[in-house]
């Protein structure tokens, strides 16, 4: 406030009032907080979360967990676990052993923790061994079928091919990677020229044996799902019982 001397009295003039967004910006304590906290809400379900897919170095994961054909085709030059003290032998705990088996499943099939928990819950509701049913649910996904057919070099590439609409099921385009394929269904490549060229470029780089639950014609056309995958045909060295034990107290 400012004052003006008039006679023996001092007339005080009020300072100009600041209104609008400028007032809230400079006088609010919220402006001093980080941007991530300014725009966050009290409801955790409405907060912005980062992408859950792994985008880091893949060979480090292979060195830590072992061979993961669905993650990468490359072979690391070093066999010791990554990190400064990776070469130092450490005895893992029981929790650590089960955690590593669970992480193998996650990284190989490219699923999130939330998706894997849902698969475990679904496997528990079905009749049979929970561990084998869990592997069957993951192997019968459409992106897993595309990967096992040799149409993509990795599981992430198979997921991208499916999402972009290059794959058909029974002659109809399906762009959902988690689609559960059933015995008797036919999986093929879309008739579009770009789809066929993309898959042909991947065929040259992928050479893996055909599992027994899939069959392809002599001319290399559409493939057919003949049965549910057997435990022996699962393309991953893993102990599924440890994964069931890992989730026994969490699910």
Tens of pLDDT, residues 136-154: 999 999 999 999 988 888 8
Concatenate the DSSP letters of all residues of 84-114 into one string.
Answer: TTTTS--PPPHHHHHHHHHHHHHHHHT--HH
CATH number for the region 141-204+211-227 comes to 3.10.290.10
pLDDT: which is higher, 109 or 20: 109
Cα–Cα distance, 121 to 125 (Å, whole number): 7
pLDDT (0 to 100) of residue 21: 46
Please state, for a pLDDT cut of 70, what percent of the chain lies above it: 75
* Length of the chain measured in residues: 251
Per-residue CA distances from 162 to 115, 179, 187, 237 (Å): 18, 10, 11, 25
Among all chains, which residue has been given the structure tokens 């819950």?
121
The token duo for 80 is 């010791």
Mean pLDDT, all residues of the chain: 79
Tens of pLDDT, residues 188-200: 999 888 888 888 8
Cα–Cα distance, 106 to 139 (Å, whole number): 13
> What is the pTM assigned to this prediction?
0.73
pLDDT: which is higher, 250 or 240: 240
Among all chains, which residue has been given the structure tokens 């008797």?
184
pLDDT (0 to 100) of residue 166: 92
Which has the closest alpha carbon to 52: 106, 96, 117, 97? 106
CATH architecture of the region 58-137+236-246:
Orthogonal Bundle (1.10)
Tens of pLDDT, residues 6-20: 555 556 666 555 555
Domain with CATH 3.10.290.10 in the chain: 141-204+211-227
Domain with CATH 1.10.1050.10 in the chain: 58-137+236-246
Taking residue 55's Cβ as centre, other Cβ atoms within 10 Å add up to 7
């Amino acid at each position: 406030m400012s004052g003006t001397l008039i006679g023996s009295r001092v007339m005080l003039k009020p300072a100009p009032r600041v209104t609008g967004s400028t007032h809230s910006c400079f006088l609010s304590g919220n402006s001093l907080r980080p941007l991530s906290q300014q725009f966050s809400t009290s409801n955790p379900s409405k907060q912005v979360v980062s992408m859950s897919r792994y985008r880091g170095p893949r060979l480090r994961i292979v060195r830590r967990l072992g061979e993961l054909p669905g993650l990468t085709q490359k072979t690391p030059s070093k066999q010791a676990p990554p990190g400064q003290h990776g070469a130092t032998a450490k005895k893992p705990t029981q929790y650590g052993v089960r955690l590593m088996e669970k992480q193998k499943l996650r990284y190989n099939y490219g699923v999130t923790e939330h998706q894997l928990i849902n698969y475990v819950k679904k496997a528990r509701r079905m009749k049979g061994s929970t561990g084998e049913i869990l592997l069957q649910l993951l192997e019968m996904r459409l992106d897993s079928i595309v990967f096992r057919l040799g149409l993509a070099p990795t599981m992430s590439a198979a997921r991208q091919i499916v999402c972009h609409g290059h794959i058909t099921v029974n002659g109809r385009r399906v762009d959902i990677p988690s689609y559960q394929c059933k015995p008797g269904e036919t999986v093929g490549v879309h008739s579009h020229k770009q789809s066929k060229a993309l898959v042909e470029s991947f065929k040259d780089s992928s050479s893996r044996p055909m599992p027994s639950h899939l069959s392809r014609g002599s001319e290399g056309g559409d493939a057919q799902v003949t049965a549910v995958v057997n435990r022996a045909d699962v393309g991953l060295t893993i102990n599924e019982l440890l994964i069931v034990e890992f989730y026994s107290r969490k699910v």
